[in-house]
Structure 1
Amino acid sequence: MSRLDSMLRRLTAQRDGLNWAAEQIADLPGDVLDLGLGNGRTYDHLREILPGRRIWVMDRVLQCHPSCTPPEADFLMGEAEPMLRKLAALGAPIVLAHYDFGMGIKADDVAEAARLSPLLARVIVPGGLIISGQPLEGFTPIKGPESIPAERYLFYRA
């Protein structure tokens, strides 16, 4: 499969997974967390499908498209570990998290996801959902939408 086809599959799975998750949490109170702002596409989509929800965003740097810049109060800039600790200390009730950290080196990305999993667990409310491109530890794997192959995107319940 070409890298272009792989990227299209990943983005389609990401969109379908987020849309599915938004339906799953429709009746649950709480905030949303986007781990890995990048250029802001996912954040922009979350704003569209979850209007009225506070969307926390975390990344090392702010380098997104200007139309996708989160409010300063909702953007946690820095390394993931201290930012997850800060979010936990704030007591933000995260009901949905989208984990999209990674540098594209699979072994390193998997190791980082395992290392961050316990910190992520501290901010997700019981019963909350996590959608991830990397395997996470300490959460209950669940079946996502039928349109997404199991290995393409991962779904968890806290």
Structure 2
Amino acid sequence: MSRLNSMMRRLAAQAEGLEWGLTQIGTLEGDFLEMGLGNGRTYDHMREIAPERRIWVIDRALNCHQSCVPPKEDYLEGEAEDMLRKLADQGTKVALGHYDFGFGVKEKDVAEAARLSAMIAPVMAANGVLISGQPLVGFEQVRGPETVAPDRYYFYRT
């Protein structure tokens, strides 16, 4: 598969996964969390499909498209561990989270996702949904939307 086709599959999985996740949480109370803003495409999609939800955003640096800059009060800039701890300490509960941190090296990305899983757990609401490009640990893996290949994206209940 070409890198272009792989990227198109990933972007489709993100959009379809978020839309699926929204149907799974229904009226569950809690905020949304975007872990890894990047250029802001996924965050922008979250804003579009759930305009009534607060969306927290964590990233090391703000490098997104100017139309996707989150409100200052919802943007946590810094290392993931510190920002997840900050959310947990203030009692934030997340109904839907999207994990998209990465270095671009598969082995390193998988190890980082496994390491951060224990720090994500305290901010997740019971029966919340996590959508991730990397395997997470300590959560119940579930089958996501039928349109997304099981090896393309990971879906979890908390």
When normalised by structure 1's length, the TM-score is: 0.98
Shift of residue 25 of structure 1?
Answer: 1.6
The match for 2:104 is: 104
Shift of residue 24 of structure 1?
Answer: 1.4
The number of aligned residues is: 158
After superposition, what is the alpha-carbon deviation per residue over 1:114-158, rounded to whole angstroms, capped at 9, x for unaligned? 110000001001111000000000000001000011000000011
Shift of residue 19 of structure 1?
Answer: 0.7
The match for 1:80 is: 80
Shift of residue 26 of structure 1?
Answer: 2.5
Partner of 1:122, secondary structure, is: helix
CA distance in 1, matches of 2:154, 2:106: 15
Is it true that 1:134 corresponds to 2:153 in the alignment? no
The match for 1:143 is: 143
The match for 1:67 is: 67
Asked if structure 1 preserves the Cα contact closer than 8 Å seen for 2:25 and 2:127, the reply is no
CA distance in 2, matches of 1:86, 1:142: 28
In the TM superposition, 1:1-158 aligns within 5 A as 1-158=1-158
The structure 1 segments of at least 4 consecutive aligned residues displaced by more than 6 Å after TM superposition are none
Q: Which runs of 5+ in 1 are unaligned?
A: none
Q: Considering only aligned residues, what root-mean-square deviation do their CA atoms show, in Å?
A: 0.6
CA distance in 2, matches of 1:52, 1:111: 34
Structure 1 vs Structure 2: percent identity of aligned residues?
61
Q: Which runs of 5+ in 2 are unaligned?
A: none
